[in-house]
Structure 1
Amino acid sequence: MADNTLAHRAQHATTTEAVHLPPTAAPTNHGKTLAAWVTCWTIVIGGTLAGLAVAFALVWGFWVGIGICVAGIIAGLVLKGMGYGQGGAETIKRQKANGGH
């Protein structure tokens, strides 16, 4: 009968684990772009407003909060298209001016 205890399996590993690395290095700004900040904070504000409206049973306030969230997503996409997103021309220019971050 084979020894199938945890101690035996820990000392006699029979499988190897594959390492999967990303194809390229991640950008140095880690998503700290104007488009990311605008999108994030407008969604946080809109979500907070919508949540408070639900708590106080204000239907119109809920829809205003959801509208702010949608506006934040649209604003982020517009800013990304203008080059203020990850890998955009304006973001790269800002990184070079600030020493790469």
Structure 2
Amino acid sequence: MSSVHLEPQDLPDIAPHNHGKTTAAWVTNWGLVLAALLASVGIAIPVHALTFAGIGVAVVALAAGAALRALGHGQPLS
């Protein structure tokens, strides 16, 4: 049994109803999954061009997610 007692005011706010279910979240997530796959295969084989391609895909995925969020396809900042 835990000895920690949390009061209601100590709990975080409830996540919005669409948390993680936006276009920006999906594009960023799948882009980073692809980037990790490319980079890990590039490290395992080793093929440096594939590793750097994975890093490049990660940068593009993060930029695309930020752009989609700025265009209103992501979670609001409020």
Query: 1:51 corresponds to which residue?
Result: 40
1:84 aligns with 2:73: yes
Query: Aligned partners of 2:6 and 2:34: how far apart in 1?
Result: 42
TM-score (norm 1): 0.66
Higher relative contact order, chain-length normalized (CA < 8 Å, sep 6+): 2
**Equivalent-residue separation in structure 2 for 1:35 and 1:63 (angstroms):** 24
**TM-score, reference length from structure 2:** 0.84
Aligned residues: 74
Say yes or no: does 1:41 pair with 2:37: no
SS in 2 for 1:31: coil
In the alignment, structure 1 segments of 5+ residues that lack a partner are 1-9, 89-101
How far the C-alpha of 1:21 sits from its partner, in A, is 2.0
The residue aligned with 2:5 is 17
Q: Percent identity?
A: 39
Return the offset for 1:29.
1.2
1:65 has 2:54 as partner: yes
Task: Give the superposed CA RMSD.
Answer: 2.0
Instruction: Tell me how far 1:18 sits from its aligned partner.
Output: 3.2
- In the alignment, structure 2 segments of 5+ residues that lack a partner are none
What is the Cα deviation at residue 42 of structure 1? Answer: 0.4
Q: Distance in 2 between matches of 1:18 and 1:36?
A: 31
